């Protein structure tokens, strides 16, 4: 019995020794494999994101790699190399938008100017334009002295107003609807007065006529003014007979169009309707005149003058001109 117990004890001890040895050998081999694997994996391996889409019809999976998308990586410096970012480039699409307004400016006129005194602009063609600055106009005006040897100055007085003296005259006539036969019928009266006044000018004098509403129409297109010859004076009647009274009113545009001829005198003939010129506009026009051009305002109306301090009286006073009111009921 004792002999059997001793043999059993020896077998158990041998088995334990064998198992412990196997465990130690297995642990040593695993440790060597781990160390060897880490040493071989020191370089970075590429990592990416794959997008997959599974269709509902045939349960097929479709993979999309990074070439499917336009991705641009932002440049990074050595401090931020581990945190590079990416920005997805997507084209910007803009809707087609029709811009209204230009067609409304194209009013039909009986006489279409073939040229324009508006250097560098499109105002004569009915399109908006950027006018020169007050300093530019004043500087150009100052280059043209009054005392030029052109012979005696002429004088023009219309509707019994104060005579205006000079060599170059521009008549700026409002042709909006309120000035026509359905309104004050002032266009016909203005035509008669202008033709009569031109008869007193000489060969050393010049003139032009600008009829305006929301755009100007020129009697003498281009940059040159007309001589008061008999033929030209006769054409003034044809010019007025071809005008239709319609459209809105832009007083400032009409005056600026006349100022670009650099005249001595501008006659502004209008009923003074909306839109009125504010003080800022009047101040700008005064600068444009440059101390050389005077504006003589002639206002038409029915009955006595209601507002004696309107923009027409102010602009005449500030430019060295004169204001005159015409009561169409007395005509």
- Left (φ > 0), alpha (ψ -120 to 50) or beta: where does 222 sit? left
Give me the chain's average pLDDT, please: 75
User: Cα–Cα distances in Å, from 184 out to 247, 266, 275?
Assistant: 15, 22, 18
Cβ–Cβ under 8 Å, residues 141 and 292? yes
**Which pLDDT score, from 0 to 100, does residue 209 have?**
98
In the chain, the percentage of residues whose pLDDT exceeds 70 is 61
- Residue 21 CB contacts under 8 Å (≥ 6 apart), including other chains: none
- State mean pLDDT over 258-278: 95
> Check: CATH 3.40.50.740 for 162-330?
no
User: Residue 310 is encoded by which pair of tokens?
Assistant: 């309107």
- Give 287's contacts (C-beta < 8 A, 6+ positions apart): 134, 135, 137, 138
Provide the pLDDT confidence category of residue 61 given band limits of 50, 70 and 90: low
Of 43-47, 203-207, 252-256, 298-302, the poorest mean pLDDT is in 43-47
pLDDT tens across 128-187, in order? 445 666 677 767 766 665 555 789 999 999 999 999 999 999 999 999 988 988 888 999
Return d(Cα 219, Cα 154) in angstroms, integer. 20
**pLDDT tens-place string over residues 296-310:** 999 999 999 988 899
Are the C-beta atoms of 142 and 152 separated by less than 8 Å? no
pLDDT band at 120 (very low <50, low <70, confident <90, very high): very low
* Alpha carbons 103 and 64: distance in angstroms, whole number: 51
Q: Which residues pair with 172 in a beta bridge?
A: 210, 268
Q: What ranges do the domains of the chain cover? A: 162-330
| Helix 251-259 with 279-289: angle, nearest 10 deg | 10
Distance CA 295, CA 277 (A): 14
**Between residues 43 and 296, which one has the greater pLDDT?**
296
Of residues 179 and 68, which shows the higher confidence score? 179
């Amino acid at each position: 019995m004792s002999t059997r117990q001793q043999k059993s004890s020896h077998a158990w001890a041998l088995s334990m020794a064998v198992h412990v040895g196997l465990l130690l050998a297995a642990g040593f081999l695993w440790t060597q494999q781990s160390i060897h694997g880490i040493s071989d994996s020191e370089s970075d391996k590429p990592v990416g994101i794959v997008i997959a889409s599974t269709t509902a019809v045939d349960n097929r999976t479709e993979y999309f790699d990074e070439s499917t998308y336009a991705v641009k990586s932002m440049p990074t410096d050595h401090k931020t190399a581990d945190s590079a970012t990416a920005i997805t480039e997507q084209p910007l699409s803009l809707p087609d938008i029709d811009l209204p307004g230009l067609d409304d400016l194209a009013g039909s006129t009986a006489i279409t100017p073939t040229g324009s005194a508006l250097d560098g602009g499109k105002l004569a063609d009915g399109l908006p334009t950027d006018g020169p600055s007050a300093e530019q106009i004043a500087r150009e005006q100052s280059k043209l002295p009054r005392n030029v040897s052109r012979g005696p100055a002429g004088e023009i007085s219309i509707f019994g107003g104060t005579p205006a003296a000079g060599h170059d005259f521009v008549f700026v006539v409002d042709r909006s609807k309120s000035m026509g036969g359905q309104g004050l019928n002032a266009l016909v009266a203005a035509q008669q007065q202008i033709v009569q006044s031109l008869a007193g000018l000489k060969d050393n004098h010049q003139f032009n006529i600008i009829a305006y509403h929301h755009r100007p129409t020129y009697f003498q297109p281009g940059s040159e003014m007309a001589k008061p010859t008999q033929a030209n004076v006769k054409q003034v009647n044809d010019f007025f007979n071809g005008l239709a009274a319609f459209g809105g009113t832009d007083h400032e545009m009409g005056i600026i169009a006349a100022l670009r001829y650099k005249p001595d005198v501008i006659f502004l003939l209008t009923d003074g309707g909306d839109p009125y010129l504010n003080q800022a506009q009047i101040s700008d026009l005064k600068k444009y005149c440059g101390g050389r051009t005077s504006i003589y305002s002639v206002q038409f109306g029915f009955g006595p003058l209601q507002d004696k301090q309107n923009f027409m009286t102010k602009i005449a006073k500030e430019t060295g001109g004169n204001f005159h009111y015409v009561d169409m009921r007395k005509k």
